[in-house]
Structure formats: C-alpha cells, structure tokens
Amino acid sequence: MLALRKLKPGPGLDATDVPEPSSPGPGEVLVRVESVGVCGSDVHIYEWTDGYDFMAPHLPATLGHEFAGRVSVAGPDAGIAEGARVAVVPTVFCGTCPSCRGGAAQMCTNRRAIGLTRNGGFARLVCVPASNLLMLPEAIDTELGALIEPLSVAADAVLIGDVTLGDTVLVLGPGTIGQGIALMAKAAGAGRIIVAGRADAPRFDVLRKLGFGDVVDVAEGPLAEQVLALTGGTPVDVVLEATGHPPSIIDGLSVLKKGGVLVVAGIHPGPLTLPLTVFVRNRHQLRASHSTERRTWDRVVSLMARDPESFRPMITHRLPLERGIEGFELARQRVASKVMLRP
C-alpha cells in the first residue's frame, strides 16, 4: 500500500509502497483511514526544523496523526465492532509510569505518538490500540472526525488560559490551531476574539467564514497598534499563541492586561528572550499547552455534534493520498489552510 514516510533525519518526505500491517494483536485494531489532515507539525517534520530530533531513533515511520476512518479488523479483546466509525487519539500512553498510575496520563514519560514515533495515518491501513479509538456519533463524518485532534489541542489551550465569559481574547496565528482556538474561546464565552497573522490571506478568509471578523495582519502595521485600535485602547484579557514564532510572544505580552495569561501552544525552533522586569511588573503569567486529556476529546465531539457543518470551512483542500506531497507543499507555502488527504 502507498504511505507517506519519513525515512531519515533531514528535509523531505517519501511516497513509497509498504506492506499492509499484519493482523492486529490483542487489544489492537486495523483502521481503514478515510481522512487524514496535514498538520503544521507534519510540515515542520517535512522541512526538518529544530524541535523534531526526538523522532530520529524511530525512523523510518509513516506520518499522519490527525485521522479518522473505520475499523477494518479488530484483534482479540479489542472490544469494538468491525466497521465502526472512529477518530484516533494519537498519543499512546505506557500505563505504568508514575504519571499514568497517578491518573495524569497526559504527563506520561514513556508515551509514543502515532504518526511521529510509530506508524500513522498517511496510509490506507494503520494498526492502533483499541483504547485510542474515539467513536464518532452519526452527526460527524470521518472528514470532520479528522479535525477532532487539532480542535482538542486548541481546546486545551483555551482551558489552560482560563478563558471565561466576556473575555477579550487575542489569538496569535491564523492556522488550523489558531482557528480552533478561536472557536473554542467562543464556546467558552469570550466576548471578543481577535486573530492576528502575517500576510496569510487564505487563512484569514477561513476565519471570516467561521464568523471571526476581527482579523489583524501584522504585515500592515504593528500588532499592538492594530489590536488597541480595535479595543479602544484596552488591553486584552488572554493571549493564546499558535505561531511557532518566538517574537510573537513578546508582541502578545505588549497588549496583555496586568495579571493576564499568555498560553504558548506553538512548537518553536528557537529560544525566547523575555524582558523579565516588564514581565514581573505586569504580573503576567506565561503558561504552556501540550498534549490533551481524553475528556477534552469527548468535549470537542459533543460541541462538534451540535453543529458539524460550522466546522467544515476549516478544510480548504481535499486530495487523494497519491497527491500527498503536493498537499504538503500547499500547506507549507500557506496556499491552503487545512489539507485533507484521502487514502
């Protein structure tokens, strides 16, 4: 079968034929992948930017961690029917480390990641633990099911930021995670949501289709100047970052109220130089969001099931897996917002 694989460290990605997975073992299933999204992390792996060296010992590997499909074959004790429609939670927890035993599996010290350190969804079939399956309700098709992973990442950032009713929220980054953060901040009751990006017209268009009109393009002027013009000079309550560009965090802090929270959700290729005296005097809080609790996935599914089609504008391109490299380039060049591949 065709698979998109990272064969070795360094730039590039290979579309290559690989054997189909063998029969699943106890507690495992084969998922027939129907939709798999190209994530910003996938693009970073394609380019081999800093921050992904941890993958090197696990290569070669098939990428793809945002996917949904149907159970093709269920192994012994899998506890799920063949043909079931599912999304896949990509983090595989060890179950034995102190964090797992203490009920904080998202802090697992031995976790593996489907599509990063073990074979993922850029293929027709993938073997995964049955415990990583999320049943899709009738209202959510598998294309939307493949959005649940990035939306859960976004929901986690909003939860960590303590976004509450009436807050003014600034989202840094108009990509899929930024779009998801805006949607989840709205669901949390934010009164105003401003999204900032740089010369990213296709993703700005998606945001407007999702109902977010306060879009700031920092290519047209300083962030602080444009944001404060929208708020009448009032600093924002919460800043949620999804750019992967360290200087954007300093820009975000410049419009954050005293005592306000900035959540970093992006993966950054370099360090941040933080003006600590200003940071301390403003009593700013800098928090990190990474990984997601299973209950957050369940919350996202419940939210999506209320109005599934309102999430569909996030997907701008649909391609067969055979055109996967083209899809990566569309995402890398920011011509596309979310590219969905169909194995």
Residue 96's pLDDT is what?
A: 85
- Provide CB contacts within 8 A for 121, sequence distance 6+: 31, 33, 36, 62, 64, 65, 66, 67, 69, 88, 114, 115, 343
Least-confidence region, from 25-29, 39-43, 290-294, 306-310: 290-294
Which tens digit of pLDDT belongs to each residue from 234-282?
999 999 999 999 999 999 999 999 999 999 999 888 899 999 999 999 9
Q: What is the DSSP string of 262-319?
A: EEE-S--SS-----HHHHHHTT-EEEE--S--HHHHHHHHHHHHHSGGGGGGGEEEEE
Q: What is 2-146+307-342's CATH number, 2.60.40.420, 3.90.180.10, 3.30.360.10, 3.40.640.10? A: 3.90.180.10
Check whether 106 has a pLDDT greater than 80: no
What are the structure tokens assigned to 229, written together? 């013009």
Quick one: pLDDT band at residue 104, thresholds 50, 70, 90?
Answer: confident
Q: Give the architecture (CATH level 2) of 153-288.
A: 3-Layer(aba) Sandwich (3.40)
The share of the chain scoring above pLDDT 70, in percent, equals 100
Alpha-carbon span 310 to 84, nearest angstrom: 24
Nearest-5° Cα angle at 244, 238 to 249: 40
What are the structure tokens assigned to 164, written together? 């509450």
Average pLDDT, the chain: 95
Phi/psi of residue 180, nearest 5 degrees: -65, -40
Phi/psi of residue 267, nearest 5 degrees: -100, 125
**Of residues 220, 318, 241, the one with CA closest to residue 284:** 241
Distances in Å between the alpha carbon of 57 and those of 16, 52, 65, 140, 242? 20, 11, 18, 36, 27
Quick one: pLDDT band at residue 94, thresholds 50, 70, 90?
Answer: confident
Cβ burial 190-224 (10 Å sphere, 16+ → b, else e): bebbbbbbbebeebbebbeebebebbbbbeeeebe
Residue 298's pLDDT is what?
A: 95
What are the structure tokens assigned to 34, written together? 């129907």
Average pLDDT for 145-174: 97
Helix (H, G, I), strand (E, B) or coil at 183: helix
Check whether 292 has a pLDDT greater than 90: no
Quick one: pLDDT band at residue 51, thresholds 50, 70, 90?
Answer: confident
Amino acid present at 307: D
Residue 293's pLDDT is what?
A: 87
**Count of alpha carbons within 13 angstroms of residue 169, beta-carbon side:** 31
Alpha-carbon span 189 to 184, nearest angstrom: 9
Task: Cis check for the bond before 174: say yes or no (omega within 30 of 0).
Answer: no
pTM value? Answer: 0.95
Domains of the chain: which residue ranges? 2-146+307-342, 153-288
Residue 315's pLDDT is what?
A: 98
Residue 253's pLDDT is what?
A: 98
